[in-house]
Homo-oligomer: A and B are copies of this chain.
Amino acid sequence: MKELKVIKIGGNVIDNPEALDSFLDKFAALEGNKILVHGGGKVASEMLKGLGIEPRMHNGRRITDAETLKVVTMVYAGLINKNIVAALQKKGCNAAGLSGADCNCITADMRPKEPIDFGFVGDIAEVNAGAFGMFIENGIVPVVCAINHDGNGTLLNTNADSVASAISVAMAEEYKTSFVFCFEKQGVLYDKDDDSSVIPVIDKAMFESLKAEGRVADGMLPKLENAFAAIEKGVSEVVIKHAGNLDKPIETKIK
C-alpha cells in the first residue's frame, strides 16, 4: 500500500514568519506523498479589527457572520494559502492550494443554529479522496485551508484540526496514512511541566492509565480522543509533535 503523510500546522506556526519558513523547508524536504493542512492564526482577527469588525468567539470558536466569512475566506484561502504555496514552489515542492470548493474536495454542513448560532461555520460532511488522489498521483502536494463549501454555493468556515483528521480518514482507504499533528509542545508529556518527558508511543491501554493518573487532561484529552478515533477509522498512526521537529524523531506516536 502506498504511504501518505497528512500534516497539520496551526496558528502558532502561521503567525511566526521564521518558524513558518523553517517548517516549510522541512516539509518540502520530506520524501513521499504528503498533504499540508493549515489553520488561520491571528491575521484574520487583525484584518477584522482593521476593517472595524469586532471578532466574536464562543468557547474558542469563531462566530462567523457574513462579513466575517468574507474576511476568513480572504485570509485563509487567499493570503495565507497562496503565500504558503508560493514559498513551497520556491523550495522545489510543487504545491496546489485548495479550499473544499476546489475540485469539490471537501463538503461541509452548516452547524445547527441551536444552542449557539455560529453563523457560516460548518462541520465536515464528505472528503473527496479521489480529488486529493489526483494531485498526489501527479506529484502535486495539496495545501488545504479550512474554508469548505456546502455544495449549494455557500462557503463555510470549518475547524482545521477536523479538516486534517477527516482527510486522513478518507485517504486511509487507498494509502497507509500517517496523520502528523503539529502543535506548540514537543509531544504528549509524561510530566506536563517537563518538555523532556515526551512519551514516544501511546496505545489505547496506556491512554486509559494516563487518563486515570490525570497525566492527560484539558486540551490534550480531546486531541488524544480524536487521535484514537482516527485510528479506529483506519488511519495507521497519529503523530503529535512540534512543527520545529518535523525532521526529528521527537514526537508521540499514537497507535
CB-contact partner of A85 in B47, B70, B101, under 8 A: B101
Interface centre among A95, A102, A155 (most CB of B within 10 A): A102
User: Is A99 positioned at the interface, with any CB of B under 8 Å from its CB?
Assistant: yes
Whether A153 pairs with B82 at a CB distance below 8 angstroms is no
Residues of B within 8 Å of A99, CB to CB, are: 82, 85, 97
Interface centre among A79, A101, A134, A149 (most CB of B within 10 A): A101
Interface centre among A51, A79, A151 (most CB of B within 10 A): A79
User: In chain B, what residue has the closest Cβ to A107?
Assistant: B89
Residues of B within 8 Å of A149, CB to CB, are: 85-86, 89
Q: How many copies does the complex hold?
A: 2
Whether B86 pairs with A155 at a CB distance below 8 angstroms is yes
* A and B contact pairs by CB, cutoff 8 A, 28 listed: A47-B51, A47-B74, A50-B50, A50-B52, A51-B51, A73-B79, A74-B78, A76-B78, A77-B81, A82-B99, A82-B101, A82-B155, A85-B101, A85-B102, A86-B101, A86-B153, A86-B154, A86-B155, A89-B104, A89-B149, A89-B153, A90-B151, A94-B103, A94-B104, A95-B101, A95-B103, A97-B101, A103-B140
Residues of B within 8 Å of A154, CB to CB, are: 86
Q: How far is the CA of A52 from the CA of B147 in the complex (A)?
A: 27
Q: List the 3 closest pairs (A to B, CB-CB), nearest first.
A: A78-B78, A74-B74, A90-B153
Chain B: minimal CB distance from A146 (Å)? 12
Chain A positions within 8 Å of B, measured between CB atoms, are 47, 50-52, 70, 73-79, 81-83, 85-87, 89-90, 94-99, 101-104, 134, 138, 140, 147, 149, 151-155
Summarize A's interface: helix, strand, loop or mixed.
helix
Chain B: minimal CB distance from A144 (Å)? 12
Residues of B within 8 Å of A104, CB to CB, are: 89, 94
Whether A79 pairs with B82 at a CB distance below 8 angstroms is no
Q: How far is the CA of A89 from the CA of B103 in the complex (A)?
A: 8
Chain B: minimal CB distance from A218 (Å)? 34
